[in-house]
Structure 1
Amino acid sequence: MQTLLHPYLDGELDLMTSLQVEEHLRTCASCDLAHQNYLALREGLRDSALYFSGPATLQASARSAARRADAVSRPTLPMTSWRRWSMAAVLVLAALLTWSLTRIRTSPSAERLLAQEVVSSHVRSLMAGHLADIASSSHHTVKPWFSGKLDYSPPVTDLEAQGFPLIGGRLDYLNGRPVAALVYRRQKHRINLFVWPAKSGEKAAKSETVAMESQGYHLMSWEAGGMTYWSISDLDRGELSRFVKLYQAQSQPAPGVSG
C-alpha cells in the first residue's frame, strides 16, 4: 500500500483506488505515519528558505566555461549540413519507435478498461447504498420496469431456488451507454450483472465465458443472443461461476467457462 502513497499525494490514482488508500490509512498506523511524513516533507520543501540564488557572476562563469568546453570538444572536421540532419532524423525516429512500443506494452486493453468501469460501478452501488432503482425479488416486476427506460429488454431470471435470489434492478452507465444492472444476492454477498446489446459488427456470441480478477473482485463476461454480460462480486470465483452457469442455463444456452 505504501507504494501507492506517492501517486495518491500527487492525485494520480483513480477514484476507487484513492478511496481504498484513504480507507487503509484510517486503519493502518504505519502507513498513516508514512503519509503524514510525506505531507510534512512536501510542505517543508516549499519553504523559500531552502532555496539559494547564486550571484550573477557565477552564472556568467558557468556559461563561459560551457562555451570553452564546447569549443574544445568540437570535431576537427565539421559535419556537413545533410549529415547533421540525417543523424537527427535517425535519432527522432528511434525515439518515436521506442515511445510507441512502450505505449503498446503499457496501455491497458479495451477489455481491461471495461473491467475497471465495471468494478467502479459495482463499488459505487455498494458505497451509495443504492443497489436497486426497483427493489423486488420477482422477475415479473423487475423486467417490465426497464421498459421505456432502455432500448432493449434485458433477460431477468429467478434464481432464488438455487440460492441466488433476485434483489432488483437499476439503470447504470457502462461502455459509453446506459445499461441494465440486475442485482442478485448470495448470503451477505451482492452480485451485479450488467447487460447491454453487443455492438453491431461484433461476433454474435462468445464461445467462452471470460473470467478475471480486478482489485479484489471476481468478474466474468460473455456474449449470447446479441447481448453482452458482465457479472461481478466479492464471492469466490467458484461461487460466481456457479451463478453465471445458472443464469446462462435459465436465459440462454450456456457457453463453457475459461480462465
Structure 2
Amino acid sequence: MPLIDESDLHAYADGQLDPSRRAEVEAYLAAHPEAAGWVGDWRRQADELHAAFDGVLNEAVPLRALPPRLQGRAAAPAARAAGWRMALAASLASLVAGGAAGWLARGQAGDLAVLTPPAERFARDALASHVVYAPEVRHPVEVAASDEAHLVAWLSKRLGAPLRVPDLRAEGFHLIGGRLGVAEGGPSAMLMYEADNGSRISLQLRHMAPGTADAAFRLERLPGTGDSHGTAAFYWVDRDLGFALAGPLERGALLALAQAVYRQYQDD
C-alpha cells in the first residue's frame, strides 16, 4: 500500500486530492479505522466552524456605529471589512489545521495518535474566541466593566473558582467587561481589555482537571492577520487554573502583560 501521511489525510478531509490519490487514501482508511475516525472528526469540526461563523464572515461592518476615533481609521470601509473577514477566516482555518495537526504524529505508518496537551488546546480555544469577539463594536462583552461586581460573582460561580480581575491600567489597558465562554466542553471566563488606541487583548481562564501540573509561560500564535504581529496568546497553568492572554501584540509586550497578570494572581 502506498505511504499515506498526515498531509494526505488533511487533504482528503478537505476534498483536495485528485481521484487516484483519493482512492489510495480511502483504501488506507478502510484498513485503519482509527485514522478514519480522525478524518471524520476534522470534517465535523470544519462543518461546525462554518455553521458558527459563516454568518459573521458575510456580515457587513456597521461603520456608522464605530466611535469617532475608529471612524478616522476607516478610510476604505469596503477594504477594511473585507480584510477583517479574510483575517477571521484565516485565523479559524489555522486553528482547525493546527488542532488537527496535534492529533497525528508523522511516521512511516502514519497511524500514531498524539493528543495535544489540554493547556495547548485551551490556548487555541482562547485564540479562536479572541478573533471572534475582539473586533465586535457593540457586543464584545456580555457584562460591562461598570458592573464589575456582578461580572466577578457570575463568572466565579460558572468557573467554579474565585475570579480575580487583574488591573492592567499601568500597562496601558483598561477593562471593558467580560463574557462566559466554553473550553474543552466546560465553562471559561473571558475578560476583555482595551488600550487608548483601540487595541484589545483578552484574558481567558478555565478550571483545569484536578492534578493538572503547573506550566510556565508558553506561546501559541496565529499566522499574520493583517497587522505586523499577528494574533498570539501566552498561556500557563497555575494551581489548577489555566490562563491564556491573547492579542495582536509583539511577543515582548504580550509577555509583559502575562507576567503582570501572573504577579497579581500570586498576591492572593
TM-score range, shorter chain: 0.5 to 0.7
Q: What secondary structure does 2:165 align onto? A: coil
Name the count of aligned residue pairs: 174
The residue number in structure 1 matching 2:252 is 238
| Among candidates 212, 229, 239, match of residue 220 of structure 2 | 212
Alpha-carbon offset, residue 21 of structure 1: 9.8
1:100-249 equivalences under 5 Å are 102-104=110-112, 109-110=116-117, 112-126=120-134, 129=137, 130-136=139-145, 140=149, 142-186=151-195, 187-203=197-213, 205-206=214-215, 208-215=216-223, 216-249=230-263
Instruction: Name the TM-score, length of structure 1 as normaliser.
Output: 0.54
Query: Bigger CA drift: 121-130 or 222-231?
Result: 121-130
Name stretches of at least 5 consecutive residues in structure 2 with no aligned partner. Answer: 1-11, 17-41, 59-78, 84-106, 224-229
Q: Which has the higher contact order (CA 8 A, sep 6+)?
A: 2
Instruction: Name the TM-score, length of structure 2 as normaliser.
Output: 0.53
Task: Work out whether residues 168 and 260 of structure 2, in 8 Å CA contact, stay in contact via their aligned partners in 1.
Answer: yes
Alpha-carbon offset, residue 108 of structure 1: 7.0
Distance 1:236 1:165 in 2: 19
Amino acid at match of 1:118: A
Q: Deviations over 1:65-115 (max 9, x none)?
A: xxxxxxxxxxxxxxxxxxxxxxxxxxxxxxxx843xx2448x673455444
Residues 234/137 of structure 1: CA separation in 2 closer, same or farther (3 Å cut):
farther
Q: What secondary structure does 1:146 align onto? A: helix
Amino acid at match of 1:209: F
Amino acid at match of 2:204: F
Q: Deviations over 1:1-35 (max 9, x none)?
A: xxxxx98786969448x9799999x67xxxxxxxx
Identity %: 23
Name stretches of at least 5 consecutive residues in structure 1 with no aligned partner. Answer: 1-5, 28-96, 254-259
Amino acid at match of 1:179: S
Alpha-carbon offset, residue 166 of structure 1: 1.1
Distance 1:131 1:229 in 2: 19
Alpha-carbon offset, residue 140 of structure 1: 4.3
Alpha-carbon offset, residue 201 of structure 1: 2.5
Larger gyration radius, structure 1 or structure 2: 1
Q: Deviations over 1:164-217 (max 9, x none)?
A: 2111111000122011111112332211111112211222x22x2111312331
